Chains A and B, each alone.
Chain A
Amino acid sequence: MEAINIDFAALNLITLSPMLITLLGALVILCIDLIKSDLDKTLYVTLTILTLFVAIGATLSLNINERGLFNTILIDGVSILGQLLILAGSMLFIPLALTKRKFHDFSYPEYFALFLFMVFGFQFMAASDNLILIFVGLETASLALYTLIAMHNTKLAHEAAIKYFTMGALAAGFFAMGAAAIYGVTGSVEMDSIVKVFQSKMSEPSIMVPIIGGALLMIVAIGFKVSLIPFHMWTPDVYEGASASMAGYMSIVPKIAMMVVAMRLFGMYMELDIEIVRYTIIALAIITTTLANLMALVQNDVKRMLAYSSISHAGFVLVAIALDTTKGYSSLFMYYSLFMFTNLGAFAMLWVSRHKYNVHHDRFHHPYEKFAGMIKKAPVSAVIMAIFMLSLAGVPPFSLFWGKLYVLSAVVDSGYYAVAIILALNSAVAVYYYLKLIIYMFLKPEDLSQGNVVYANRSLALEMVIGLAALATIASIFYVDPLMQFITDLVGASGY
C-alpha cells in the first residue's frame, strides 16, 4: 500500500475563489443574524449583492484553463462564462426581495444565506468536470432551492416545493445511476479520463450498452432539471406555486448550470461520435419546443404561460448542444445571457403586480383578465411588458431576436436544415400567446370592478430591476456584437 501523497499546490485555491467568496458571504450573513437579530432585510439584500459582485470580480480575474482542488475543478472559458451568468442572474434576482408588500420569505435572514449556498452549488456545477463534484453541487443547490420555494409559505408554495423535491430527488437518482454506469465501465469519474477509457474500449463488442445506457440516464436527469418534455411535468405547477420572482429565477440560473453540465457531458459523447445521443437530444429539443408551445397556447394564467414558454425556450437552446460546434455553444450562452434579462424582467412584472390575495380569479394570481386595459391604468408598465413579450417572441430589434438568430444560424451551419425550419415555425406559433397578453393589455377594455391592483407590490428596487431588464432588452443591438465576441473567445479558449 502506497502512502497517499497530497500536494497542496494541486489545491490551487485561487480557482475556487469565486465559490469561496459566495460561501463566505453566506456564512457572514448567518453570523450577523446570530449576533444581532432585528436587522432590516435591506442589509441582507445588499450584502448578498455585494458578495455576488465580488464573486463576479473574482471570476473575471481567473486564469483560463487551470485546474484546482486536486484536479476536480476545471476553470475553462465555459466555466467562467457559466459562473458569470449564474452570478449576474442571481444579482438581478435578489433586489426583487425588496418588495413593498411584506412576504414571509424575506423576513428570514436564512433566506439570503440559503440563496448564496444555492449559488455556490450552481457555481460548482459549472466549474467542475468531475461527476461526483457535479452531483454534490447539484444537490447543494437543489436542496437550498426547495427550501427557498417553500419559504414563500403559501399552500401552493408548499405543494410546489414538495413536488419539486420529489421530482428533483428522482432526477438526482438518475444522475447518480448514470454516473455509476459510466464509472462501472471506465473506473473514473473525471470526464477527461472517461473519454480516454471510452476511446480505448470502443472496439469491444458489448461496450455500447453501458455507454448508451449511462448517456440515457444522464439525459433523463438533465431533462428533469432543464425541464424537457416529457420530464417537464413539475414545471408549471412549481412555477405557479413559487413566488413570481423565484419562478423567473428558476427559469434561468439552474438551467444555465445544468446546461453547462450537459455541454460537458454530451460534448464527451459527441467527441466519441455516438450519434444516437446527438439524435436523442435533437429529438428531445424538438418535442420540447413544439409541445410546450402548444400547451402554452391554452393557458389562462400568464405565469403558467411563461412557465411553458420557458420550457419551450429551453428546448430551443438545447439544440445548440447537439451541434457540438464552437458557434453552437457560443450561441447557447448568448441566448441565455439575453434570455436572462428578458425573462426575469417579465416575471418581475408579474411580481410587481402581485397582491396578497387572488382578486381576479379563484386559483390564479395573474390571469390574462387582470392585465386587461393596462395601457390606460399603467401605460409605462404596459409598454415595458409588451416589449418583454415581443422580445420573448423573437421580434427584432429586441434582444432575444439576436439569440434566436445565432442559434438558428449555428443550426443551419451544421446542416440541420429541417431542424432549423421546425424551430423557426415554432417561434411563429409562440407569437400567438405572447401577442395574446399584448392584446389584453392594449386592446381589451379595462376591468373596472377590481380597482387598481396592477402596482400593488411596486418599490424602487423592483422598478430598477425592471428598468435594467428593459434597457438590456431594448438596447441589445448595441452590445450584441462585443458580447458575442467575448463569449466566442471564452468558449473557443476552452476547446469546445
Chain B
Amino acid sequence: MSNILTVLIFFPLIAAIFGFMVNQKSIRVYGITVAAAEFLLSLWLWASFDSTNPGMQFVEQLSLIPQFGISYYLGVDGISLFIVIMSTLMTLIGIIALSVKDDIKNMIITLLFLEVAMIGVFVSLDVILFYVFWEFSLVPMLYVIGAWGGNLRLYASIKFFIYTFAGSLVMLIGMLYMAFIYHSTTGVWSFSLTDWYSLILPFDVQKYLFLAFFLGFAIKVPMFPFHTWLPYAHGQAPTVGSVILAAVLLKMGTYGFVRFSLPLFPDASVAYILPVGIIAVIMIIYTAMIAYAQKDIKQVIAYSSISHMGVIVLGTFAMNTEGIAGSVFLMLSHGIVSGALFLLVGVIYDRKHTKIMSEFGGLAKSMPNFAVVFGVMTMAAVGLPLTIGFIGEYLSLAGFFKVSPTLTVLGGTSIILGAAYMLKALKNTFFGPITNPENENLPDLDAKELTALIPLVAIVIWLGIYPKPVLGPIDTTTKALVQMMHNKAQTKEAKATILVSKPKKEAK
C-alpha cells in the first residue's frame, strides 16, 4: 500500500466526522475501535518500513498550489516513524483510560481530530502542510483544556494558545523568507523540505532564520524562559489532555529542531550550540528544583517533563549521531513515561479529587498494583538502567559530552535531581503510614486502567532491555542526517564540530 500515510492522516478525520452520528452512550467503543484500527495501521507502517533505508519512505507528492510551490508531500523516515507510532498508541491509551463523564462524545471526536493533526505534523514534508497541521493541533487542544479543565481552564487554554501561536507566527515568517530565498536562488517556488535541504545558505542569513524557527520550536518544547504556559496547561488539563500534551505535542518542538533547524541551518546551529546548551542546562536544573518544591503531584510531573525536555534539546544540539539518535529515542521514552505518569495521576485524582501529595501517604497498602506501576514509571522517569528512560538519556548526554563536558556534567545532574524529586513524590504518596483514613479503602486499578497501563509498562521494560528494533532505524536515518549536515556545513568550525562527532562505531 503506497498511500498508507494518507490513510493514516485521513482515517481518523473521516472517523471523527462520522463520529457525530454515534450515540453518546456508545461513543467510547467507537473511539477505541477507530483508535485501535489507526494504531494497527501504524504498526503495519512499521512492518513494511525498510529500516536499512535512511531516506524518506512511502513518499506521496501531489501539487496543491503549483504557482507557489505548495504541495501535498508526505514521507516518513526513521526519525518520524516511531513518533507517529507513539502518537497513535498514546491516543488509543488515552481513549481507553478516558474518565471524563460529561460530553464524552465531543471529547472523543476532539481527540480523533487531534490525532489527525499530530500525525500530519510528523509526516508532512511540505513546510506549509507542516505548518497547517502544526497550527491545527492547537485548536483541539484548546478545546480539551478549555472544556474539561480545572478552575483556571480558560486562562490556561488561552495562555497555551497564545504562546504557541505567537511562536509559530514568527516561524511562519521564517518559512516565507526561506521560500523567498529559495525562489531567488533557483528561480522556482518550493516549500518542499527536501528541496530546501539542498540549498546552502550564507551564514548570516542562517543566523536569522535559525532564530525565527528556534522561537517557534522552543516555545513548543517548551524551553526556558518560555516554559511558563506548560505548568498551567498541565495543571488545568484533564488527564487525557495532559497525556497527549506531554507525550506528543511537546515532541513537535524537538522534532522540529531535528527536522528543520539542524539540517537547514547547520552552521548557525553549530554557532548557537553554546547558548542553546546553556539554556537547556538552566531548564534542566531550574525546573528540577521547582519540581522538588511542588506540593501538587501533577505539577511535579509537569516540571519533570520540562526538565527532561532539556536533556532532549541537549542531545539534539550535540550535532552527532549518538546525541541526535539518543534525543529521538528520549522523545519516545519521555512520551511513554510521562504519558503513563499523567495517567497514573489521573487515576488517583478520579478517586480522591485532589492532587496534593500531603493528602496521600501509604497508598501502597491500599492500592498495591497502582503502586507497582507508579514505581516502574518513576524508575523509568529517573533513568534507571534497564528501563526505557536510561538509553535515551545516556546517549543524549554521551553525545553532548563530545561538545562540552562541562555542560554535560551540569546536564547530567538531571538524573540526580530527577531521582530526588521523583523518589520524594513516590515516598510521600505511597509509603509510610496511612495518615488519612479516607485512603484506607481506595479501590485499586480497575480493568480499564490496567488495560491502558500494562502495555505501557511492557514497552518501558521491553525497550529498556532491547532497544535495537527502535534504535536501529533511528540510527540509520540519523547517520545520514549528520552526514548531510557535514557536507552542507561551510564554516570551518561547523565542519569540525559535525565531523569530530561522527565516529564510525555503532551508537548502540
Of B1, B11, B14, B29, the residue contacting A43 (CB under 8 A) is B29
Name the residue on A nearest B21 (C-beta).
Answer: A46
Report whether A50 and B15 are in contact in the complex, using a CB–CB cutoff of 8 Å: yes
Report whether A50 and B14 are in contact in the complex, using a CB–CB cutoff of 8 Å: yes
Report whether B33 and A40 are in contact in the complex, using a CB–CB cutoff of 8 Å: no
Of A41, A50, A57, A98, the residue contacting B18 (CB under 8 A) is A50
Task: Answer whether A14 and B1 are a contact pair too, CB < 8 Å, given A43-B30, A47-B30, A57-B7.
Answer: yes
Q: Mark B1-33, 1 if CB is under 8 A from A, else 0.
A: 111000100010011001101110111011001
Report whether A43 and B26 are in contact in the complex, using a CB–CB cutoff of 8 Å: yes
Report whether A49 and B33 are in contact in the complex, using a CB–CB cutoff of 8 Å: no
Task: Answer whether A50 and B23 are a contact pair too, CB < 8 Å, given A32-B29, A57-B7, A61-B3.
Answer: no
Residues on A with C-beta less than 8 A from B2 are 61
Report whether A61 and B1 are in contact in the complex, using a CB–CB cutoff of 8 Å: yes
Residues on A with C-beta less than 8 A from B25 are 39-40
Residues on A with C-beta less than 8 A from B18 are 46, 49-50, 53
Residues on B with C-beta less than 8 A from A193 are none
Task: Answer whether A39 and B1 are a contact pair too, CB < 8 Å, given A46-B19, A50-B18, A461-B21.
Answer: no
Q: Does A36 contact B (CB under 8 A)?
A: yes
Name the residue on A nearest B19 (C-beta).
Answer: A46
Of B3, B23, B33, the residue contacting A42 (CB under 8 A) is B23
Question: How close is B369's CB to chain A, nearest CB, in angstroms?
Answer: 23
Report whether B7 and A43 are in contact in the complex, using a CB–CB cutoff of 8 Å: no
**C-alpha gap A50/B18 in the complex (Å):** 7
Secondary structure at the B interface, as helix, strand, loop or mixed, is: helix
Question: How close is B13's CB to chain A, nearest CB, in angstroms?
Answer: 11
Q: Does B34 contact A (CB under 8 A)?
A: yes
Residues on A with C-beta less than 8 A from B34 are 50
Residues on B with C-beta less than 8 A from A36 are 29
Q: Mark A41-60, 1 if CB is under 8 A from B, else 0.
A: 11101110110011001000
Report whether B23 and A40 are in contact in the complex, using a CB–CB cutoff of 8 Å: yes
**C-alpha gap A32/B22 in the complex (Å):** 15
**C-alpha gap A57/B4 in the complex (Å):** 11
Name the residue on A nearest B14 (C-beta).
Answer: A53
How many B residues touch the partner, as a band? 20 to 34
Report whether B22 and A54 are in contact in the complex, using a CB–CB cutoff of 8 Å: no
Question: How close is B436's CB to chain A, nearest CB, in angstroms?
Answer: 36
Residue from A42, A46, A54, A98 with most neighbouring chain B CB atoms (10 Å): A46
**C-alpha gap A259/B34 in the complex (Å):** 34
Report whether B21 and A39 are in contact in the complex, using a CB–CB cutoff of 8 Å: no
**C-alpha gap A36/B30 in the complex (Å):** 12
Name the residue on B nearest A45 (C-beta).
Answer: B21
Residues on B with C-beta less than 8 A from A54 are 7, 11, 14
Q: Does A188 contact B (CB under 8 A)?
A: no
**C-alpha gap A47/B26 in the complex (Å):** 11
Name the residue on A nearest B25 (C-beta).
Answer: A40
**C-alpha gap A28/B11 in the complex (Å):** 16
**C-alpha gap A67/B413 in the complex (Å):** 61
Q: Residues of A at under 8 Å CB distance from B?
A: 14, 17, 28, 32, 36, 39-43, 45-47, 49-50, 53-54, 57, 61, 95, 98, 461
25 contacts between A and B (CB under 8 A): A36-B29, A39-B26, A39-B29, A40-B23, A40-B25, A40-B26, A41-B23, A42-B21, A42-B26, A43-B22, A43-B26, A43-B27, A43-B29, A43-B30, A46-B18, A46-B19, A46-B22, A46-B30, A47-B33, A50-B14, A50-B18, A53-B14, A53-B18, A61-B3, A98-B21
Q: Residues of B at under 8 Å CB distance from A?
A: 1-3, 7, 11, 14-15, 18-19, 21-23, 25-27, 29-30, 33-34, 37
A-B pairs with lowest CB-CB distance, top 4: A40-B23, A43-B26, A40-B26, A42-B23
